Amino acid sequence: MFRSRALPFDPRANKIVSLQSLKFHHGGLCEDYVSTLNRDIADTPIQNADLFTIITQSFREARGEECEFSQISKLYQICLGFSRIFNNASEIYNHDFYFDCIAQPSKPSGELTDALAQAFGGIENFKSEFLKRAMGLFGSGWCWLVCDERGANLEIITTQNADTPIARGKIPLLACDLWEHAYYIDYQNARKSYVESFLRFADFGFASDAYSWAKKQGLSSVKLYISELHPAASSRCDCGYCG
């Protein structure tokens, strides 16, 4: 069974969102994602699967694609379906990553600085484009800086609702939560002000580290990140995929 991780920063000192907002966001919603996922996979062949596997394979199953969970999907035809499992598992990862991205204000460094210059013409141009993409997302979702599985081709993408780049083989470097619950207590409906604050105080040092690991290990860097935060409950899983 999975556990909600502790915040990687002092919630009383965050420069982007308030303590009150974090109590609701992390202490309420994120706890619900974890408890719901644990209930949905309890006493099933995937109850001991690692979180990365649950995210990527339930994404494929929810889309009707062949995957390692397909042979056990009948368990869910009379229950909730893999879409709910994906949504909660994905949101656990998305929020873990987001909270690391707002842990402490820092500037990009090393390879990420060069990559941002090459892809966007520099950090300020990147921030302008990120803000534009975030404001262009209708409804709830996420705005991301990602690279491909080789640690190349930086791009800004948005995902709707609980969707996540890792389900499509993209490696996240920076994530901004655009669900209203992330900012409404502090900014009401002023999403632009929230995103501007995010970009001003984001932890680009964390993004720089994520990029360095992406270039070294590719998508395995995502698997390692997830496994360190959420170790599989058991070394044995019956899903047929984890091994």
Please tell me whether 10 is known to bind a ligand.
Answer: no
Q: Is 230 annotated as a binding residue?
A: no
Query: Are 210 and 204 in contact, with CB atoms under 8 Å apart?
Result: no
Q: What is the gyration radius of the CA atoms in the chain, in angstroms?
A: 18
Is 181 annotated among the ligand-binding residues? yes
Cα distance between residue 168 and residue 185, in whole Å: 32
Q: Identity (one letter) of the amino acid at 29?
A: L
Q: Which of 101, 95, 94 is nearest to 27 (CA)?
A: 95
CA dist., res. 34 & res. 92, Å (int): 7
The amino acid at residue 115 is A
On whether the CB atoms of residues 178 and 94 are closer than 8 A, the answer is no
Query: One-letter amino acid identity for 190?
Result: A
Cβ-Cβ contacts under 8 Å for 157 (sequence gap 6 or more) = 133, 143, 144, 146, 165, 170
β-pairing verdict for 171-177 and 141-147: antiparallel
Q: How far apart are CA 6 and CA 63, in angstroms?
A: 32
**Measured distance CA(112)–CA(118) in Å, rounded:** 10
> Which residues belong to the annotated binding site?
25, 95, 177, 181
Question: Which residues are documented as binding site for Mn(2+)?
Answer: 25, 95, 177, 181
